[in-house]
Amino acid sequence: MEFNIRLAANRKSRAVLPSDKTMHQVNPGDLISKDSGYMRGHGTYFDVDEGKILASVAGCVERVNKLICVRPLKTRYIGEVGDVVIGRITEVGNKRWKVDAHTVLDSVLLLSCVNLPGGELRKRSEEDERMMREYLSEGDLISAEVQTVYSDGHLSLHTRSLKYGKLGQGILVKVSPSLVKRCKNHFHNLPCGVTVILGNNGYIWICPLQSNEGAEGGFMQRLDPISEQEREAMVRMRNSILCLAQYKMMLYDTSAYYAYEASSQYQLYEMLKPEAMQNIVNMTRQRIETEM
């Protein structure tokens, strides 16, 4: 039996690549400017009594002419129309589901915005309303697209394409939404035998390889045991993505696949060790740089 115990004193700093730009970093409530000539942007507020601009979030200050903004270090997902997201149903309500998609306010998925069995043009009856929990119940995961962004920031989702819908067996990985690179396609069938859905909201879904033609919108679910080979590939992909996220590398199909290949020298359980993580990330970074 082997245990991996570390002392905090021996911890190596998880340094991200050094950047040559010096950044003005602030904490919530820190003074940014006393000058009243500036305009306050996102992440700042104006102290009326003292006439100062203060930071409302932790992050780095950005100035564009007279406008001051603070870009936060850590943020929730801010939706944009057309984004692919992964979400979890938290509540079944009147003609709608509430979805947790790592946004500030809960997102909604309307009953009229999902594909129901029997074709797209089917009329939604009262029967369908009663059957809502049969289709999606609390805790279920879905992949969806952002349909509308409301002024208060909450999102309305839709799954009106057969590639979206309820997700079956697989692993959910949560990373920061700013690490997911916006691409043309967020559904990737990787050669290592896994399908990865990189949700723009920082939720990443890893499941066994699925063919594009066979998309059925989640009406059919595979509940039989997944083969050990497929399972190991999925777990390896999960650990590779976590490595990249820990070192703040952008996530897209190539980086995920390169990290997966770089990890092949390690056993699955070894990938959780900090040294292995650093090594995998370095190898991935080098390979991406040489190919650019």
Partner 1 sequence: MAEVLLSQAEKIFIVHGVEDNVRIDGRSCLEYRSFEIETGTVSNASGSARVRMANTDILVGVKAELGVPALRKPDEGKLEFFVDCSANANPKFEGRGGEELANDIASMLSQAYGDKNTLDMRKLCIADGQHCWILYIDVLLLEVGGNLYDAVSLAVKSALYDTKIPNLTLTTNEEGQVEIDLSDDPFDYSEIDVENCPILVTCCKIGKSHVIDPSVEEEVCSLCRLVVSVTRTGHITSTRKVGAGSLLPESIAEMVSTSREIGISLNEALLNKLKGRI
Residues lying near partner 1 in the complex (CB under 8 A): 1, 3-9, 11, 88, 90, 138-141, 167-172, 221, 223, 225-226, 228, 231-232, 235-236, 238-239, 267-269, 271-274
CB of 42 to partner 1, least distance (A): 25
| Strand spans (E) along 126-261 | 141-149, 155-159, 165-166, 171-174, 187-190, 194-198, 203-208
Please name the residues in contact with 169: beta carbons below 8 A apart, sequence gap of 6 or more. Answer: 207, 208, 221, 222, 223, 226
CB of 135 to partner 1, least distance (A): 13
Sheet holding 31-33, edge to edge: 31-33, 52-55, 44-47
CB of 208 to partner 1, least distance (A): 10
Which run of H or E residues covers position 286?
helix 274-291
CB of 79 to partner 1, least distance (A): 21
Residue 268 in tokens? 């699955």
Nearer to partner 1, 77 or 205 (CB): 205
CB of 123 to partner 1, least distance (A): 28
Residue 262 in tokens? 């770089």
Please name the residues in contact with 3: beta carbons below 8 A apart, sequence gap of 6 or more. Answer: none
Angstrom distance (rounded) from CA 277 to CA 107: 34
Nearer to partner 1, 18 or 139 (CB): 139
Which run of H or E residues covers position 148?
strand 141-149
Nearer to partner 1, 131 or 268 (CB): 268
Nearer to partner 1, 41 or 193 (CB): 193
Nearer to partner 1, 48 or 223 (CB): 223
